[in-house]
Amino acid sequence: MTERHDDEGPDPRFSVAVIGLAGRFPGADSTGELWRSLLAGDEGITVLDEAEHLAAGGDPALLDDPYHVRAVAEIAGLDRFDAEFFGYSPAEAALLDPQQRMFLEVAHHAFEDSGYPPGGHPGAVGVYAGSGPSRYFTTNLAPWYAGRPGSLDHTAALSANSAGTLPTRVSYLMGLTGPSISVATACSTSLVAVHLACQDLLAQRCDLALAGGVALNPHARLGYRYVQDGPYSPDGKVRAFDRRAAGMLQGDGAGVVVLKRLADALADGDTVRAVVLGSAVNNDGDRKIGFTAPSTTGQTEVIVSALLEAGVSPASIGYVEAHGTGTPVGDPIELTALHDAFERAGGHPGGCAIGSVKTNIGHLDAAAGVAGLIKTVLALEHGTIPPTLHLDEPTELFDWAASPFEPAVTARPWRVPGPRRAGVSSFGIGGTNAHVVLEQPPSAPPSAPGREHTLLTISARTPAALDGTARLLGERLAAGAAPRLDDIGHTLAAGRTAHPYRRALVVRSADEAATRLRETIGAAAEPARQRPVALLLPGGGVHYDGMGRGLYATEPVYRETIDRCAGILRPVLGRDIRDALLAEAAASRDGGEHTALLDGTATGHRAASFPALVATEYALARVLEQRYGVTPVALLGHSLGEYTAAALAGVIALEDVLPLVAERERLFASVGGTSLSVRRGEDAVTAFLAPGLAVAAVNGPDACTVSGRTAAVIALEARLTAAGVDHHRLRVPVAVHSPVLDPVLPEFRDLVAGIRLSKPRVPYLSNVTGTWITEEEATDPEYWVRHSRRTVRFADALRTLGDAARPPVLLEAGPGGGLGKLARTVLGPRVPVVAALRHAYAEQDDGSFLLGALGALWCAGAEPDLPALWRGTRPRRVPLPGYPFARSRFWIDPPGGGPVSGGPVPSYTPADGGSPPVAAAVGTRARSGPPDDSPLGRVTRLWEESLGVTGIAPDQNFFDLGGDSMLLMRLTGQVRDALGVDLSVRRLYVGDRLTVAGFLAEAAEAAEAAEHDRTGPTGTGAPAGEPAGQSSPAASPTPSPSPAPSAAATAAPPNGQDEE
């Protein structure tokens, strides 16, 4: 405990921040909807009419029963779950307790709300949670196993519905390695979970914690019977602290908070929704009249302990979210305990509001405490206390006038001066009490100025979910009062899991972002494949004055590299290339003015386009790698671009390559000539050539460069025009890669021989051969002479890149975008192409263009370090809409009357109303038509029934289809019984036989071994009355061995070791 004055803020060393919220409640499918409902005074409790009651299976005889209450506080769709998102097969999803299904989804949303992807926090993440009893198991599943309680199927059902597996299932599926503790203290479960999480955070047992609870009643629509003076309300209304309080109504709900040490949350830029100043837990012991009764003494003590732990006086508390069940016994006891606790801890001058969320949504059992906590966090955050419903006349069993408490019957602000503070109580049957003291969030520190443009990235597992994500985010941005756009971009990049279907937008405002997001809905989407990156490096002719100027202003790595290059080149050129690179480019499209400074025509200086282009490409590549983590696995330069590749690969040092290409430009310009781009293939172009001309580059099936003496090129232009062949001159004053260069090649050879050439550290492709350069070539001066003289085999080099087992994303790290166009022509759409620097005439600035390139890389499956965009700007993680789960119905109804035979029959209704799931074609083509009655047909049928999918092919892997080791053991037993042979799970696993074909092969071997054991080594193996040599049914047909298991299979141990 730390003592503090009531007007002081929380001590970050001993306080815990609430940084994420999520929940589903009656009448509210999110915490945002809950807050709007609370402020409006809405009630999530409904009374069913007779038709609704009967449709739910209600007894018609109860319709006229005056004590039968048809009120419900339910969550719609509790039978629905996004099983595919969490990796469950339909059959396994149907077996899983709906409470666990919903908690998984809510936990995922809570992580997203906190700005941390599940499993994405670098520290240990703990899970503290509890659920109500599984009514689904008791009513729907248990009757199916009544006659076989010791079966594996029964064990699997127990595991899927055990409250003890709730937190560990979250930890397993989300990769969380901190403490994972199941909490069970009845109604106080979820607030006790919050207390335990706070204690472990402050004790450094974890660095982030998820705490909450869930309670669902699948059969609430059947109603309940009211008993006078019992715990249940006669009409479904919960009237906490009212004179007419007569009982509560059980409701459905799931709530989760994400917690973090306050000091860490502030340092990491998290959005702090509220601060936990202190908490306490105790038990009534025997200080009450009965086990289920409340205790004034126990409640008083826990509240006093929490205030002491928080280090604040009760006088600073402006609101208490009470347990408030609305019972005539419990409410006065709770009010008295609160009064006694406040008096014992120092007293309160008055004006402290009191309320209970149970009047809105009912009593949520294991989720009741966290529901009250979430309501209070939202109230502290917004500065408004929502109204408590049905509180018309405060109970006369408590002296309100002598207490500091006022029923919160209307929405109101805090009336106690100083920081907004509140207490939250939750008391469980059996006497475990919990109380938490909260404070309003501290003011967020200002963020540093951001970029003019922001990159927004969204992703999902399906195209429909991607559209849903775009819609939800667009609606949030259009609603007004959205977080800062830079914070949104950072949260999306750093706080969300990257799924296969992706979109990226570069925007300047929230309004533009909302519009653009809406416009993307319905756009075609292809799943991203994880890909490496290869750089394309353009050659001469694409340069322009001012290229990269925007990057020089905004990217420190780029600026430092260009400054270094300018220093290297100044003695060689006699001028500073930055004068041209940082200049405003002229807008003329036809006068060549936009290159006048680099070409020297505007100043009379020596041309510097070659070294300036290499410097630009080199600096851009360094930014991509050092700032944004884009490390290329390969390089491909075009003509001059191969020198940049050589520098990046470590073949030629930067201090050598820049003077070398400057001298190369001077030498080549001295012999002159002209180069022409021709829209024809190599053979067609060759037919047009005359003496003095050469094919300088083969860039694609219909793209070549021809160079030679200017007069010969002019004559060629006339022939091409007459033949209707497209062509245009290149902006290089030299006949590149042609015999025109021969007079200066000896001098160039001497220049190359004077520098050190080293073996490549990064693979790159040779223009001369169109394939990977060898160490011998890279370090041979003669190679560089041949490179300048021979035809550039760029199309061949592109094909070499495209033929890789995993083709890379091609990133053009230079101006123009021309190489990307050639790559698309040669390789087609199967290889993504991205440009990183704008064309000379593009209206987009350099910074936003680079943002778009990073987004495009990410969409294509590369892994740039997108959060680096906000490094140094103190960005915040902000709450944004969560993933739009595609929930399908997975359900098992209880058996009908009479003896039970067979196992439970799952019911599956897809989210889109489509057909039941079909096994994806991960192996050979699945059969058409129903399975036959052969061993193959029978085993396939068992697989399909166990996994809940149809169309399983013989070589599809069990784990790829959503199986786990517990289901593998059950399925093995079923196949054993069907074929009459012993099968070993371990042999199936170790032998890589986790396919239908593998099961049959294993069965055939087992049958053969059993026959051998029965007859001995010399027996015929034929049973009486059966011809010798006839095999058993299990052994025929004998398929070929199944393929090796996938990564999913190899990650799952045999013998059920992933389930306990």
Task: Express each pLDDT in 40-79 by its tens digit.
Answer: 999 999 999 999 999 999 999 999 999 999 999 999 999 9
Reduced to 3 states (helix: H, G, I; strand: E, B; else coil), residue 259 is: strand
Query: What's the pLDDT at 1054?
Result: 33
For residues 604-618, give the mean pLDDT. 90
Among 53, 363, 499, 727, the active-site one is 363
- For the stretch 873-890, pLDDT in tens is 889 999 999 999 999 999
Q: In the chain, what percentage of residues exceed pLDDT 90?
A: 74
Radius of gyration, alpha carbons of the chain? 36
Query: What's the pLDDT at 965?
Result: 77
Last residue in a domain, options 474, 497, 520: 520
| Residue 145 predicted with pLDDT over 70 | yes
Last residue in a domain, options 683, 699, 732: 732
Phi-psi region of 920 (alpha: psi -120 to 50; beta: other; left: phi over 0): beta
Q: Are residues 692 and 607 in the same domain?
A: no
Residue 572's CATH number: 3.40.366.10
- Tokens (6 digits) for 214: 């869930």
Q: Report yes or no on 898 lying in a domain.
A: no
User: Which segment of 602-606, 708-712, 716-720, 1000-1004 scores lowest on mean pLDDT?
Assistant: 602-606
CA 96 centroid distance within chain? 23
For residues 31-40, give the mean pLDDT. 97
Q: Are residues 798 and 940 in the same domain?
A: no
| Residue 918 predicted with pLDDT over 80 | no
CA 1022 centroid distance within chain? 59
Say if residues 108 and 882 touch (Cβ distance below 8 Å).
Answer: yes
Q: Report yes or no on 82 lying in a domain.
A: yes
Reduced to 3 states (helix: H, G, I; strand: E, B; else coil), residue 833 is: strand
Judge whether 639 counts as a catalytic residue.
yes
Last residue in a domain, options 684, 714, 732: 732
Residue 695's CATH number: 3.30.70.250
| Residue 391 predicted with pLDDT over 80 | yes
Say if residues 787 and 767 touch (Cβ distance below 8 Å).
Answer: yes
For residues 198-208, give the mean pLDDT. 98
Burial class (CB in 10 A: 0-12, 13-18, 19+), 968: buried
Residue 992's CATH number: 1.10.1200.10
Query: What's the pLDDT at 1039?
Result: 35
Q: Report yes or no on 213 lying in a domain.
A: yes
| Residue 7 predicted with pLDDT over 70 | no
Query: What's the pLDDT at 637?
Result: 98
| Residue 308 predicted with pLDDT over 80 | yes
Q: Are residues 428 and 552 in the same domain?
A: no
Angle of helix 368-382 relative to helix 31-40, nearest 10 degrees?
70
Helices (DSSP H) in 954-1044: which residue ranges? 965-979, 985-990, 996-1015
Q: Are strands 405-407 and 421-427 parallel, antiparallel or unpaired?
A: unpaired
- Tokens (6 digits) for 647: 């520098």
What is d(CA 703, CA 682) in angstroms, rounded to the nearest whole number?
Answer: 8
Phi-psi region of 475 (alpha: psi -120 to 50; beta: other; left: phi over 0): alpha
Q: Are residues 344 and 357 in the same domain?
A: yes
| Residue 926 predicted with pLDDT over 90 | no
What is d(CA 1056, CA 306) in angstroms, rounded to the nearest whole number?
Answer: 43
- Tokens (6 digits) for 734: 């030299």
What is d(CA 763, CA 759) in angstroms, rounded to the nearest whole number?
Answer: 10
Average pLDDT, the chain: 89
Q: Are residues 50 and 176 in the same domain?
A: yes
Query: What's the pLDDT at 173?
Result: 96
Among 89, 121, 187, 295, the active-site one is 187
Among 108, 121, 195, 323, the active-site one is 323
Question: Highest mean pLDDT range out of 25-34, 52-61, 136-145, 1007-1016?
Answer: 25-34
Residue 515's CATH number: 3.30.70.3290
- For the stretch 404-454, pLDDT in tens is 999 999 999 999 999 999 999 999 999 999 999 999 999 888 777 778 999
Judge whether 188 counts as a catalytic residue.
no
Burial 165-186 (b: 16+ CB within 10 A, else e): bbbbbbbebbebebbbbbbbbb
Q: Are residues 41 and 142 in the same domain?
A: yes
Residue 388's CATH number: 3.40.47.10
Say if residues 758 and 567 touch (Cβ distance below 8 Å).
Answer: no
Q: What value, to the nearest 5°, has the Cα angle with vertex 865 and ends 860 and 867? A: 115
Q: Residue 242: pLDDT band by 50, 70, 90 thresholds?
A: very high
Query: What's the pLDDT at 1032?
Result: 36
Q: Are residues 712 and 754 in the same domain?
A: no
Q: Are residues 506 and 591 in the same domain?
A: no
| Residue 837 predicted with pLDDT over 80 | yes
Q: Are residues 163 and 196 in the same domain?
A: yes
Number of structural domains the chain divides into? 5
Task: Choose among 854, 853, 798: nearest CA to 831.
Answer: 798
Helices (DSSP H) in 672-753: which residue ranges? 682-686, 710-723, 745-753
User: Which segment of 233-237, 594-598, 672-676, 687-691 scores lowest on mean pLDDT?
Assistant: 594-598
Helices (DSSP H) in 366-484: which residue ranges? 368-382, 463-478
Q: Residue 606: pLDDT band by 50, 70, 90 thresholds?
A: confident
Query: What's the pLDDT at 216?
Result: 98
Say if residues 536 and 811 touch (Cβ distance below 8 Å).
Answer: yes
| Residue 942 predicted with pLDDT over 50 | yes
Phi-psi region of 992 (alpha: psi -120 to 50; beta: other; left: phi over 0): left
Among 639, 766, 788, 1032, the active-site one is 639
Helices (DSSP H) in 352-418: which residue ranges? 358-361, 368-382
Query: What's the pLDDT at 917?
Result: 58
Q: Are residues 685 and 769 in the same domain?
A: no
For residues 685-695, give the mean pLDDT. 94
| Residue 914 predicted with pLDDT over 80 | no
Q: Are strands 634-637 and 693-700 parallel, antiparallel or unpaired?
A: unpaired
| Residue 4 predicted with pLDDT over 60 | no
- For the stretch 524-578, pLDDT in tens is 999 999 999 999 999 998 999 999 999 999 999 999 999 999 999 999 999 999 9
Q: Report yes or no on 928 lying in a domain.
A: yes
Q: Report yes or no on 597 lying in a domain.
A: yes
Q: Residue 509: pLDDT band by 50, 70, 90 thresholds?
A: very high
For residues 364-381, give the mean pLDDT. 98
| Residue 836 predicted with pLDDT over 50 | yes
What is d(CA 977, CA 850) in angstroms, rounded to the nearest whole number?
Answer: 62
Integer CA distances (angstroms), 556 to 103, 568, 622, 655, 825, in order: 45, 19, 11, 20, 35
User: Which segment of 104-108, 197-201, 765-769, 951-955 scores lowest on mean pLDDT?
Assistant: 951-955
Task: Choose among 197, 210, 265: nearest CA to 13.
Answer: 265
Query: What are the residues facing 705 on neighbouring strands?
Result: 677, 697
Tokens 């050639």 sit on residue: 822
Q: In the chain, what percentage of residues exceed pLDDT 70?
A: 91
Q: Residue 901: pLDDT band by 50, 70, 90 thresholds?
A: low
Task: Choose among 197, 134, 195, 138: nearest CA to 162.
Answer: 134
| Residue 1044 predicted with pLDDT over 50 | no
- For the stretch 983-1019, pLDDT in tens is 888 888 788 888 888 888 888 877 777 777 777 655 4
The more confident residue out of 191 and 1006 is 191
Reduced to 3 states (helix: H, G, I; strand: E, B; else coil), residue 848 is: helix
Q: Report yes or no on 878 lying in a domain.
A: no
Q: Are residues 492 and 542 in the same domain?
A: no
For residues 689-698, give the mean pLDDT. 95
Parent domain of 726: 673-732
Q: Are residues 173 and 244 in the same domain?
A: yes
Query: What's the pLDDT at 8?
Result: 67
- For the stretch 790-818, pLDDT in tens is 999 999 999 999 998 889 999 999 998 99
Q: Report yes or no on 408 lying in a domain.
A: yes
Q: Residue 1029: pLDDT band by 50, 70, 90 thresholds?
A: very low
Sign of CA dihedral 557, 560, 564, 570: positive
Q: Report yes or no on 885 lying in a domain.
A: no
This model's pTM is above 0.85 = yes
